[in-house]
Amino acid sequence: MEMTMRWYGSKFDTVTLKQIRQVPGVTGVITTLYDTTPGEVWAPEKIRTLKEEVQAAGLHISGIESVNVCDSIKVGDSDRDKYIDNYIQTLENLGKEDIRLVCYNFMPVFDWTRTELARVRPDGSTVLAYNQKAIDAIDPANMAASMEKMSNGTILPGWEPERMAKVKELFAMYSSVDGEQLFQHLVYFLKAIMPVCNKYDIKMAIHPDDPAWSVFGLTRIINSEAGILRLMAAVDDVHNGVTFCSGSYGTNLENDLPHMIRALKGRIHFAHVRNLKFNDISRENYDFEESAHLSSDGTFDMYEMVKALYETGFDGPIRPDHGRMIWDEKGMPGYGLYDRALGACYLNGLWEAVEKSHQRGV
Ligand code: CS2
Ligand code: MN
């Protein structure tokens, strides 16, 4: 396991590489070319510059989150092959720079969805939260605007204004795509990119749907153990792997997280580990918030999750996922420095305890 933190690049992030370098145990960053649009080829010089900047700070690039997949590929449009070729070229350019982990998702229209980006908790920290009644009251056409209002002036990952400007068009594009078709489009895409992944040993790691069900009537397919195992079997190549995101799979309490980790042994290449606190689990008012990483602050048993990762031989990058906003920090919701640093330390502590217990046979 390698402890990492996500970093959006010096133009976009409120957190610096120097700060990340000082979090104990963090040796790498998960980053991206944040100003590229899905479908575009990543220029070799831009990748090189990013890599050098990270290395100059005493860190390295542990993986990319994300190389986003454009909508033509997801809906299976007639021009998808052209965009798949572009994706392959991007992978080629990353492979040449020795970057061997790529996280992506296959969610229609919206990436992660929350109804609040700064819910105040009893300790005064603020967190991202989801409430079903609030979702039901939102017109999806206004969703992007409402997210933007809550973004502290930052550009939220997956909510790029250029894409969101076409949200009605996007809904129309997906209206005739059902779950089975979406799955087949994903398989088509993966089969096409496997040769370049094999050439450079690039591990693709699909991020689950967040939340783990269909929102606004849009189909979602990567949200359960059965769904992800089906994908693993459909393209049975180690380079077709998984980003295990506890905060996304875990939104659906039917997902048994440690069990899923064990079922996916060998195919988890990247882990996002965070906790959630459920306040209401009735269908009409389903409500959860992103608590601190600590098990007792939320609903998940973080120890069991880390133990399952350790025992299945997980050796990829792990990162604390969204953190709370604490100590008056201002930044991108979910991506401040302080609480993610606390999360990294906590996860490192759990890992060390699990590892030493195993080594000492206790
Ligand atoms: C992330 C996702 O911030 C987040 O919630 O976990 O946006 C994730 O980066 C993408 O879905 C991966 O493609
Ligand atoms: Mn995640």
Q: Ligand 1, closest atom to CA 156?
A: 3
User: What is residue 357's three-state secondary structure?
Assistant: helix
Q: Where are the alpha helices (DSSP H) in 100-221?
A: 132-136, 140-149, 161-164, 167-174, 179-200
- The alpha carbon of 247 and the centre of ligand 2 are apart by a number of angstroms equal to 6
Question: Of 87, 104, 197, 207, which one is the catalytic site residue?
Answer: 207
Main-chain dihedrals φ then ψ at residue 26, nearest 5 degrees = -85, 120
Distances from the Cα of 55 to the Cαs of 34, 37, 51, 52, in angstroms? 18, 25, 6, 5
Active site residue 60: no
Report d(CA 221, CA 209) in Å as an integer.
Answer: 7
Report d(CA 188, CA 194) in Å as an integer.
Answer: 10
- The alpha carbon of 243 and the centre of ligand 1 are apart by a number of angstroms equal to 10
Distances from the Cα of 355 to the Cαs of 243, 260, 262, 306, 359, in angstroms? 22, 20, 17, 10, 6
Active site residue 71: no
Q: Name which of 246, 201, 219 is nearest 100 in CA terms.
A: 201
pTM listed for this prediction: 0.97
- The alpha carbon of 100 and the centre of ligand 1 are apart by a number of angstroms equal to 18
Q: First vs last Cα of the chain: how many Å apart? A: 21
Q: Which ligand has its closest atom nearest to the C-alpha of 247?
A: 2
Question: Of 272, 286, 287, 310, which one is the catalytic site residue?
Answer: 272
Distances from the Cα of 317 to the Cαs of 117, 164, 246, 271, 309, in angstroms? 26, 30, 14, 6, 11
Q: Name which of 161, 133, 137 is nearest 147 in CA terms.
A: 161
- Does the beta carbon of 30 sit less than 6 angstroms from any atom of ligand 1? no
Report d(CA 334, CA 321) in Å as an integer.
Answer: 8
Report d(CA 186, CA 108) in Å as an integer.
Answer: 12
- The alpha carbon of 177 and the centre of ligand 1 are apart by a number of angstroms equal to 22
pLDDT tens by residue, the chain, 362 residues? 999 999 999 999 999 999 999 999 999 999 999 999 999 999 999 999 999 999 999 999 999 999 999 999 999 999 999 999 999 999 999 999 999 999 999 999 999 999 999 999 999 999 999 999 999 999 888 888 888 999 988 999 988 888 888 889 999 999 999 999 999 999 999 999 999 999 999 999 999 999 999 999 999 999 999 999 999 999 999 999 999 999 999 999 999 999 999 999 999 999 999 999 999 999 999 999 999 999 999 999 999 999 999 999 999 999 999 999 999 999 999 999 999 999 999 999 999 999 999 999 98
